[in-house]
Structure 1
Amino acid sequence: MKKFWRRLSLIAIMATLGLTLSACSTTSVANRNVLKADQKSKTITWGVKADTRLFGLENIKTGQLEGFEIDLAKAMTKKILGPDAKAEFVPVTSSTRIPLLKNGNIDAIMATMTITPERAKQVDFSKSYFDAGQSILVKKGSGITSIKDLNKKGKVILGVSGSSSVQNVAKVAPKATVLQLSDYAQDMTALKSGQGDAMTTDNGILYGLASENKGYEVVGGTFTKEPYGIAVNKNQKAFLKKLNWALEELEKDGTYNKLLKKWFGDVKGFNYEEMKRS
């Protein structure tokens, strides 16, 4: 596990250095035809989460990434490039995913990334593939039942740096202090140790955390709409069109709903029927 996270840290460092080096490159990454390159290699390289239960998480026994986004990326890859095509995965965080995309380390981001106007200035998004909503995770018996209970001085809300959730919660509960950590695992550890009163991010992610951490629960429903989209570099219209087509095809043939049921069908509190697509 330590080796995995060292590799993830190295990728983040390379992404940062790449921002400088790419300026000296003779061929702009933005002008590279990603679709043609992927058709030639029969491979799409996806930036995915490796620390987010239900969406993308490393199986410590096999070393493989597992989750809804992992399976959806594999299905989309085969739909676009053929049954013998391969999906490759690069672990990303909320703060490294766009730099890695810009540097050409990955072809697309599928990593619980909410479609926002600010992000759309940097990347292009596919249609939404998962309609999440922001909520809060608390210790059972905390007395906190909604985001309103956190809008007080002295209350501390835990979030992940680089995510839209920290910006959203600061607007909804401006009197509270928002403590930003690097990933969900650190947030969960901080919540358990009493460094925060609640953790906030999208409900799907929180349900995953609640399912593996007894004594914690998602409360108060959602207070934002967080549609997840696949992000690609600007000037990749052909690639983006193919991604949207593949997603629509998987929704039509029932693959999408099968994957949704596989990962969320038995999650307590999650409305699987409401999320199904035809």
Structure 2
Amino acid sequence: MSTRRSLLVTALTAVAVLVAGCGDAPEPSTIPATALAPPLPGAEAITEAPVEQGSGVCDTEGTLSPGARPRPGAMPAGSAMAAIVANGRLRVGVDQNTYMFGFRNPSTGLLEGFDIDLAREVARDLFGDPDRIELRSVTAADRIALLQDKQVDMIVRTFSATCERRREVDFSSAYYRAAQRIVVPRGGGMSTAADLAGKRVCVAKGTTAAAPLFDLDLPSPPSVLGVTNWTDCLVALQQGTVDAISGDEPIVAGLVAQDQNLEMVGDPIGTGAYAVGVPKGSDELVRFVNGVLDRMRTDGTWQRIYQRHLSSLGPSPGPPEPRYVG
């Protein structure tokens, strides 16, 4: 690992510890079984599949086709886009704790990541200026409430569209597909999902990550701990409060990048597709955002921000094809 990379990993891990409000975390192998750390603030047991996963049957990726593309700064009168332009900035709910997608760079103090760059592209097409944006750090559990209360104009935060969520907010076309994976300490004897039997597994509250854990056919189900942020899961695993973490591959790969005593193991146990969330009934805004995403797919912008932030995941899979239903 280069000196620069090592410093970044060390700094990001330190940020994770500070965010969780804990002290220095020893490596899992150094923690006595009788001296496990207490649960993190805000942590709670999840005893059934969360409602965020939803039920029933719907087309989770079906969305409205792009409308006419207005010039930046000249949005149709009375539209949601015109209201945003009149406000002078685009208010976007993002993450500051998910490495590669939305995190605060400890060297600059700025928010960076794939989702951050995508949000700036929406601002570019609204204003002609990607910096006309207000980035608000939000937790996964608060995403829907913030849209319903109109405290943000949209959410760009590894937000998977589900049937349940579609009852409360609207979504753009999918801009990234991810498989759900498992992260464990290296050399700990866990290599597949079957090894989660009777183990303690950490997920972020308000996400869909807990649901596949309840669907595993195991002799003894895992105990699922929900925390506020994914970095809290990292701290919990470092402290020995949990035995594993399960989440979308780009999210947990970011945790592994911050602590290389960890590794991803086993086959995927679920999948998800990230989309931009907007308030319910915002058809014009959905069409506008889908137009931005179409532009990004065709002019190479999607590929450029993949290379900038996600290249460590491997060769680009290319942007998902949109599924327009209206």
For residue 139 of structure 1, what is the amino acid of its counterpart?
Answer: P
1:57-92 per-residue CA deviation (whole Å, 9 max, x = no partner) reads: 112333211111101110222023323761211101
Work out the CA distance in 2 between the residues paired with 1:62 and 1:273: 27
Work out the CA distance in 2 between the residues paired with 1:111 and 1:206: 15
1:81-122 per-residue CA deviation (whole Å, 9 max, x = no partner) reads: 323761211101111111111111100001011111011111
Work out the CA distance in 2 between the residues paired with 1:191 and 1:173: 24
For residue 217 of structure 1, what is the amino acid of its counterpart?
Answer: E
1:168: which partner in 2? 212
1:129 aligns with 2:188: no
Q: Is the 8 A contact 1:131 1:275 kept in 2?
A: no
Secondary structure (helix, strand or coil) at the match of 1:115 reads coil
Q: Is the 8 A contact 1:56 1:69 kept in 2?
A: yes
Which protein is richer in helix relative to its size? Answer: 1
For residue 110 of structure 1, what is the amino acid of its counterpart?
Answer: V
- The aligned runs of 1:1-278 (5 Å cut-off) are 33-83=79-129, 86-150=132-196, 152-153=197-198, 155-172=199-216, 175-265=221-311, 267=312, 270-276=313-319
Q: Is the 8 A contact 2:174 2:320 kept in 1?
A: no
Work out the CA distance in 2 between the residues paired with 1:196 and 1:85: 40
Worse-matched range after superposition: 84-93 or 133-142: 84-93
Q: Is the 8 A contact 2:212 2:269 kept in 1?
A: no
Secondary structure (helix, strand or coil) at the match of 2:267 reads coil
Work out the CA distance in 1 between the residues paired with 2:92 and 2:273: 19
For residue 208 of structure 2, what is the amino acid of its counterpart?
Answer: S
Q: Is the 8 A contact 2:177 2:272 kept in 1?
A: yes
Q: Is the 8 A contact 2:303 2:316 kept in 1?
A: no
For residue 130 of structure 1, what is the amino acid of its counterpart?
Answer: Y
Matched-pair identity in %: 28
Secondary structure (helix, strand or coil) at the match of 1:221 reads strand
Q: Is the 8 A contact 1:42 1:85 kept in 2?
A: no
Work out the CA distance in 2 between the residues paired with 1:117 and 1:41: 32
Secondary structure (helix, strand or coil) at the match of 1:272 reads coil
1:139-162 per-residue CA deviation (whole Å, 9 max, x = no partner) reads: 111221121221x23x11111111
State the Cα distance separating 1:39 from its structure 2 match.
Answer: 2.5
State the Cα distance separating 1:277 from its structure 2 match.
Answer: 6.2
Work out the CA distance in 1 between the residues paired with 2:131 and 2:309: 23
Greater relative contact order structure (CA < 8 Å, 6+ sep)? 2
- The size of the alignment, in residue pairs, is 247
Work out the CA distance in 2 between the residues paired with 1:193 and 1:208: 18
Structure 1 residues 186 and 85, CA gap change in structure 2 (3 angstroms): closer
TM-score using structure 2 length: 0.71
Work out the CA distance in 1 between the residues paired with 2:318 and 2:292: 19
Q: Is the 8 A contact 1:140 1:216 kept in 2?
A: yes
Q: Is the 8 A contact 2:176 2:319 kept in 1?
A: no
Secondary structure (helix, strand or coil) at the match of 1:127 reads strand
Structure 2: gaps spanning 5 or more residues:
1-14, 20-77, 322-326
Structure 1 residues 188 and 229, CA gap change in structure 2 (3 angstroms): same
Q: Is the 8 A contact 1:190 1:196 kept in 2?
A: yes
Structure 1: gaps spanning 5 or more residues:
6-31
Structure 1 residues 35 and 211, CA gap change in structure 2 (3 angstroms): same
Work out the CA distance in 1 between the residues paired with 2:276 and 2:320: 17
For residue 223 of structure 2, what is the amino acid of its counterpart?
Answer: T
State the Cα distance separating 1:181 from its structure 2 match.
Answer: 1.4
For residue 272 of structure 1, what is the amino acid of its counterpart?
Answer: P
